[in-house]
Structure 1
Amino acid sequence: MVYESSYDSGRRPHKPDLTRGYWAAPSDFIYTCISLGFRMDVISMGWFLYQHMGGALLSYVVCLFLFVVPIIVIQSFVGQFSSSGFISVFRISPIFKGLGYISLGVNLAVLTYYSMFAAVPFLYLFHSMRPTLPWSCEGMENWFINRTDVEVEHSCKLKDMVEINASIANSNDTYKYIGYEVPSVLFFNSIFGGDDLMANYEYDSPFMFSWELLLCTLLTWGIVAGVFYRFYNTELMSKFLRYTIWTSLILLLTCVIRFMLLSLDFKYVFSFFIAKPSDIGEGIPNAIVFIVSAFGPGWGAIVALASFNRFKTNIMSYSWIICIGQMAIFMAYGILTHIIQGYFKSIIDHYDDVDNLYVYVNHHWALYLSSGSVLATMSWPNLWSIIFFSMLAMMALITMITSLFSVFQSIFDEFELLRSRRSEITFGIIGVLAIISLYTSSNHGVVFFSAMSTDSLFTQTSLNLLLLLVVLWVYGRVRFQRDIEFMLSQRFATWKVNMLRFVAPICLCILLLISVVAAFFEHSVASIVIHITAVLLIILPWLYLPGYMIYVLLQTSGSFKMRFRRSCRPMDWYPVELEERQRYEEAMGNMDITHQLSQMEDEVVP
């Protein structure tokens, strides 16, 4: 059987949104999916450290072959074949349609904190326009006041050997510890009263708002709203994303070249690409970051973006191009982080020969906070700070806009009645998310957002697992290969399908276990607001899955076994374009179809 008709089950049929449009150019799908690699929430976590790209590269390439590229192919297939977003696409097996609402919840959850990754660069960007950078050694004199009983050391106050030796001689301790703070991190702490945000990682720490960060957050959402107001249809949004993504990639390449010209030992920079046997094990956490980031924040963006493809778009070759492009972005992030960490290592190297001395630098969020002090050492520091933080803000905005674009289209694909009120729904959701995201303008929101990020990692991995179940087991390997061959005129090899059916679930289960441990650790210190938000937007949507299953079974006639079987069959699953729909009917054979693919307006049970 090809599909079950909505008319046969007594439910209202799916009516596709015929005004949704297509990409202005076929390559725009590639650009937008590559931009999912701009994701920064997981990469910015402290327990993911860049050490050697060479160690992570091997693990990542293996994962590409095992399941990353095939899962992207599957997500692209269901979106492109049905021309639907991540909710309506589950009519491939209606009993699992609750997964679409779970993905809607996780997407909205990520967007509640993601504006922070644009607001923080905006904060540094505006301060970069001062005549003297506030986090430079000269600029610190205007605002830095030591508020603690113990003198705070920072890289602008490096002590000479005579003072160090005298301090050790006068100390009763066996070892002397000196921790240097990074001026650009101290500057960020100063907007919250000067407390060390990363050191005071406790849920009961005093709650403080930063009005500067709050204004930057409002500016971020104002820009997002302006983009959706100006680029209101698919073709306009397609062109906007194309040019902004290209601009971001050019700025990223420019920054990488400039950072590589810092006065570091070239061997240190080159070592980033060299993998020793021990480095391969250390590179596994990096590979996990890459794997998670390949699908973007939330879940279902690739499904929704693929739904704007023409029916014959070659998603197989596109998936490899997307992954290679994302890998280049990860390498650029890694080079920048490696050089920033190397810079702070180089300024304390002259202490290595001093006995009984341990010196370290407290650098946090290398790309966002610590990078400012490195930029301050360059010639034309204001210019390079403006370029660098403009790049980070633009990348975050692109990620937010792409995610919202997929969310809105998925909602309008599923709910026909909302299509006539597209503007009200769009700006209403943006307004609600903007209000909720103001929490990230506080010290708790800035520090504890990582708990929500690990929750989304768990949900994203779970949804990928269930997608494999729905497409390759419930819908079936044979029908999946048949549809791929019909759409692309090329076969999806059986060994690839078996890899996805048996090997990929094992890999995803391992990633799922890691995400559970990480989420438990992050929530153990998070604030009550983060706990409540996670329950509302990540945990509660999972209750919708069994609830919707029961609803579908009740709407279907027959015995329980018959109800279950009919609810698992694809419903209204066919190409939206009339010409392709007719070809699909002819290719599958009328004898296998339970209902002709013709438009009907009969009254049905709602």
Structure 2
Amino acid sequence: MASYNNFKTNIYKYSWFMCLGHLGVIIGIACISIFLKYFMQNIGIPKTYPHYGEFTDFVTVPFALTFLEWPNFWTLIFLTILGLGSLNILVIQLFSLLTSLYDEYENLRDIKKHALFGTVAILLVTSILFCSNHGIFFFETLSKFSAITQVILNLLLLLVVLWVYGRERFQRDVYFMISQTYSTWMVFVVRFVAPLFLISGVIIGFILSVVSLLFHNDTLASGIVFLFITIIFFLLAWCLIPLYCIIKIKATVGKIGIRLKRCVRPTDWYPADPEYKQSYEERFSTTDMSHQLTIVSEEENN
């Protein structure tokens, strides 16, 4: 969400706030899931009940909370946690999508409001399908792989920032923004340790999703059908990434090796604001700011 912050925003402090906030929402949802599981077992509803996941979040939990003391209090907490979790996902994913479009197609920046409301309108229309009796199955099926997609995107983000752009540039830029050093050991954790957990999460999540789709439906055949449909949508979405890479490689000039080097090196990553850009140029060399173009030009000359 850096595109919507002031350049001098203390991202170091707010990163901790965001992480703790995410953790609090996740713990709250986990507590609700555990409570719901034991409640449904006590009243005799099996875990294989249709729409067990999303259906119970909105219907069964409020019903279960009426059996507790101070039901209004617990209902308010439940709705708050559910709203924060939904709003978190909605805002981050929506603005990540829009920011990517603004960066790729600069002409959209002049009609940001229209692009925002247009995107929301399209999503509202397409979501009608998931509110139908059959659409809830597709929603539940696709949602099982959405978390996997988010984890893979996080992995790609770590790759771009800390490996392609580089640890030293990242720490240097953070210091330039907030005059505070981003510790090397923290970068080490994010660079080496975090990817191991993310990769493990992708593998475990994929296995659990497949097992859930195959054995937690009314019949094994329906589970196989929904699994097949989900994998198709899952793979189609990810096929756009290598397709985009191919388009970018074809748009460059030179031999294939030079094209690849040009496309995987950072280029012109500097502040957009003219004042901060000038200060950045004065502190760091122009060669480092245009790292990719300089090196590729030298290779072409050789």
TM over 0.5: yes
User: 2-side partners of 1:307 and 1:395: how far apart?
Assistant: 22
User: 1-side partners of 2:224 and 2:179: how far apart?
Assistant: 53
1:80-479 superposed matches below 5 A? 305-339=1-35, 360-362=44-46, 367-377=57-67, 387=76, 391=80, 394-395=83-84, 398-399=87-88, 401-402=90-91, 403-479=93-169
CA separation of 1:547 and 1:479: change in aligned 2, threshold 3 A: same
User: 2-side partners of 1:380 and 1:499: how far apart?
Assistant: 43
User: 2-side partners of 1:322 and 1:411: how far apart?
Assistant: 24
1:586 to 274, 282, 289: 282
- The percentage of counterpart residues that share the same residue type is 35
User: 2-side partners of 1:591 and 1:448: how far apart?
Assistant: 51
User: 1-side partners of 2:142 and 2:40: how far apart?
Assistant: 30
Any conservation in 1 of the 2:174–2:182 contact (CA below 8 Å)? yes
User: 1-side partners of 2:202 and 2:86: how far apart?
Assistant: 28
Q: How far off its partner does 1:576 sit?
A: 1.0
Any conservation in 1 of the 2:270–2:289 contact (CA below 8 Å)? no
Matched, 1:511 2:208: no
User: 2-side partners of 1:376 and 1:431: how far apart?
Assistant: 36
CA separation of 1:307 and 1:441: change in aligned 2, threshold 3 A: same
Tell me the amino acid that sits aligned with residue 315 of structure 1. I
Counterpart in 1 of 2:232? 535
CA separation of 1:371 and 1:587: change in aligned 2, threshold 3 A: same
CA separation of 1:426 and 1:344: change in aligned 2, threshold 3 A: closer
- Answer 1 or 2: higher relative contact order, Cα 8 Å, separation at least 6: 1
Tell me the amino acid that sits aligned with residue 554 of structure 1. K
Q: How far off its partner does 1:574 sit?
A: 0.7
Any conservation in 2 of the 1:523–1:531 contact (CA below 8 Å)? no
Q: Give CA deviations for 1:466-507 in whole Å, capped at 9, x if unaligned.
A: 222222222222222222222222222223333333322222
Any conservation in 1 of the 2:141–2:227 contact (CA below 8 Å)? yes
Counterpart in 2 of 1:571? 267
CA separation of 1:332 and 1:386: change in aligned 2, threshold 3 A: closer
2:179 to 481, 486, 489: 489
Equivalent pairs, count: 277
User: 1-side partners of 2:203 and 2:29: how far apart?
Assistant: 26
User: 2-side partners of 1:502 and 1:387: how far apart?
Assistant: 40
User: 1-side partners of 2:120 and 2:64: how far apart?
Assistant: 35
Q: Identify the structure with the greater helix proportion.
A: 2
Q: Give CA deviations for 1:52-83 in whole Å, capped at 9, x if unaligned.
A: xxxxxxxxxxxxxxxxxxxxxxxxxxxxxxxx
Any conservation in 2 of the 1:444–1:527 contact (CA below 8 Å)? no
CA separation of 1:505 and 1:586: change in aligned 2, threshold 3 A: same
1:521 to 211, 223, 237: 211
Structure 2 length normalisation: TM-score?
0.74
* Structure of larger gyration radius: 1
Task: Give the unaligned 5+ runs of structure 1.
Answer: 1-304, 349-358, 596-606
User: 2-side partners of 1:503 and 1:541: how far apart?
Assistant: 27
Task: Give the unaligned 5+ runs of structure 2.
Answer: 215-221, 292-302
Structure 1 length normalisation: TM-score?
0.40
Tell me the amino acid that sits aligned with residue 262 of structure 2. R
- Computed over aligned residues only, the root mean square deviation of the Cα atoms, in angstroms, reads 3.5
Q: How far off its partner does 1:324 sit?
A: 2.0
Q: How far off its partner does 1:390 sit?
A: 5.8
User: 2-side partners of 1:549 and 1:388: how far apart?
Assistant: 45
